[in-house]
Amino acid sequence: MPGSCRPCSRGRRCATKSVMVAPHGIIRCMIVKLPPILPQKCGIHLRTFLFALLFFLMSACGAGGKPPSEGLPTPKASITPKGTALPTAPPKASPTPESTATPRVAVSALEGVQVPLWHLLPDKWLRGPVARFNRENPWGIEVVPRAFPDEAALTDALPEASPGTVLLGYPRWESPDNLSDLTPWLNDPHYGMPAEEQADFFETFWDEGWEGETLLTLPLLRSAAFLARNHTWAAELGYPAIPQDVSAFQAQACAANAALRGDDDVYNDGLGGWVVDTRPPVMLGWLYAFGAPLTADGTYRFDTPEGETAFGFLKALFDENCAWVGEEAYPDAYFSARQALFVSATLSDLPFLEQAFAEAGSRDHWGALPFPSAPGEEPALPTFGPSFGMLRGADEAHSLAGWLFMRWMLSPDVLADLARQSGYLPVRRAALDALADYGALHPAWQAVAEALPYARPEPSLPSWSAVQWVLQDAGEQVFRSYFTADRITETLQLLEETANSLAAP
């Protein structure tokens, strides 16, 4: 995609521009004016570099770029991780009290109530569902959507928002004190959500919205970060099986590099394994795969044995030529041309990978897999995505109207339609079951859905919106030619110190 940002690859830099792009413009988007990259003769200490970064963090960039292309040819892609039956354990559910004779709010009080919906999603995603709700809901409620180009614009406008405004984006950016407690409506005998419906949500996603016994947000859609592998090439290298652990991953990546070093082209000798990717969700994937805790008691924990092992593994991959840094902004062409056996991706990247294989005329089979695990750990599937929240202070009629709209948007048929439109994952099992035909047409997407037992959300601390970029830049240091393994501990110490300084009140 020359000259444009891929709108949904959060944390990806556009060519030489320091632009962080968000998932489909779901706006975790920041312009970061970085200090110059450290030269090989490193005259600037890493501490100076990372702390300088903090003073260059600017407000969010526009949500420019286009959403995933529709109607792209789909190459053959498949993988089913072993032992990945979808989770069935019910999430935290509040039993719905028995119905009483008189509703808390009379239905007649809802007639004509307007619900402001402030959101960060592409208009095309919400236009249909909102119009349908306004047309079909039996209460006479009208939802009035307002799109914002980025998180900064929405945040700046919050002082003018009326109580009861429904927010759709990343509600954690705002203090929980400003969000309405949804638990009373969740448990309302007339308007609530029955326990069996609550249990239909994937537990990982449902639990994200709770602060103790208070429900503040409701998940709508989720994307994920994962690895993509060229299965055909891997089989030719002698590795038909999906790598289940980091040792198998390393062996396969190194075998791909060895194969290219053994051919007649001297210019590809440094290629073949995994294309380095330090976007925040990718770095989370590796840290989670090694069992790194990341947060504890409201603070960040990067300087841990697990974190050091994860960074050491990535450094070793790079030093052994099993991971390499590409010159192109995106690895799609490398992947389709067999210059990389593995690349990292999010769900938003899948249409571009499909397009690359189609344009290359490749008949190779490729697919998706979670981040392989370290010994004693489970594979990891980092997830992220938009949730609903509602500003507190509304009267009961307006508060109920907002709740009823959110509850309707979380019905399985609406979620399934949104997943088709966005390419994201629905947050309910019933909605995922309704997408069997979509999964058959998009096998790599289906493989990610089958890896949901390994889903791990990003850290829930509000400061994560800034800390994630510090993690990305710390990851980038690992793959600099001047960086040595003995600096990993110092790097993680500085990363943790910087992260917690950002999290401080």
Q: What is the DSSP string of 136-187?
A: H-TT--EEEEEE-SSHHHHHHHGGGPPTTPEEEE-GGGS-GGGBPP-HHHHT
Same domain flag for 367 and 282: yes
pLDDT digits (tens, 9 = 90+) for 129-144: 999 999 999 999 999 9
CATH number at residue 149: 3.40.190.10
Q: Does 43 map to a domain?
A: no
CB of 142 within 8 A of CB of 133? no
Number of domains in the chain: 2
Nearest Cα residue to 246 out of 133, 377, 353: 377
Same domain flag for 286 and 369: yes
Same domain flag for 466 and 344: yes
Same domain flag for 246 and 273: yes
Helix 488-503 × helix 46-54 angle, to 10°:
20
Which pLDDT belongs to residue 312? 98
Same domain flag for 157 and 295: no
Angle at the Cα of 376 from the Cα atoms of 90 and 473, rounded to 5 degrees? 90
Same domain flag for 343 and 421: no
Q: Which two tokens stand for residue 252?
A: 């396969």
pLDDT digits (tens, 9 = 90+) for 5-45: 344 433 333 333 333 333 333 333 333 333 332 333 333 34
Q: Does 9 map to a domain?
A: no
Same domain flag for 270 and 355: yes
Q: Does 8 map to a domain?
A: no
Q: Which amino acid is at 138?
A: P
Same domain flag for 304 and 275: yes
- What is the average per-residue pLDDT within 202-206? 98
- What is the average per-residue pLDDT within 110-132? 97
110-134: string of b/e by CB count within 10 Å (b at 16+)?
Answer: beebebbbbbbbbeebbeebbeebb
pLDDT(300) > 50: yes
Length of the chain: 505
Domain final residue pick, 419, 443, 467: 443
Q: Does 20 map to a domain?
A: no
Helix 305-319 × helix 246-261 angle, to 10°:
10
Q: What is the DSSP string of 386-441?
A: -EEEEBS---HHHHHHHHHHHHHHTSHHHHHHHHHHH--EESBHHHHHTTHHHHHH
Which pLDDT belongs to residue 171? 55
pLDDT(408) > 70: yes
Same domain flag for 261 and 356: yes
Q: Does 151 map to a domain?
A: yes
- What is the average per-residue pLDDT within 227-240? 99
Same domain flag for 242 and 347: yes
Domain final residue pick, 416, 443, 470: 443
Task: Give the strand pairing for 294-296 and 299-301.
Answer: antiparallel
Query: Number of C-alpha atoms within 13 angstroms, CB side, residue 386?
Result: 31
Q: Does 49 map to a domain?
A: no
pLDDT(318) > 70: yes
Question: Distance from CA of residue 203 to its chain's centroid?
Answer: 16
Q: Which residues on adjacent β-strands are paired with residue 145?
A: 117
pLDDT(178) > 70: yes
Same domain flag for 282 and 349: yes
Residue that is written with structure tokens 């407000």 in the block: 59
Q: Does 472 map to a domain?
A: yes
Residue that is written with structure tokens 């028995």 in the block: 98
Domain final residue pick, 392, 420, 443: 443
Same domain flag for 470 and 352: yes
Which pLDDT belongs to residue 95? 52
- What is the average per-residue pLDDT within 80-101? 47
- What is the average per-residue pLDDT within 89-102? 52
pLDDT(57) > 80: no
CB of 398 within 8 A of CB of 163? yes
Where in the sequence is the domain holding 260, given as residue range(s)?
A: 70-81+224-382+458-503
Q: Does 492 map to a domain?
A: yes
Classify 301 as helix, strand or coil.
Answer: strand
Nearest Cα residue to 474 out of 225, 222, 204, 292: 292
| Of the candidate ranges 11-20, 176-185, 379-388, 397-406, the one whose mean pLDDT is the lowest | 11-20
Backbone angles phi, psi at 294, to 5 degrees: 70, -50
Classify 342 as helix, strand or coil.
Answer: strand
Q: How confident is the model at residue 105 (pLDDT cuts 50, 70, 90)?
A: very high
Selected residue with higher pLDDT from 400 and 20: 400
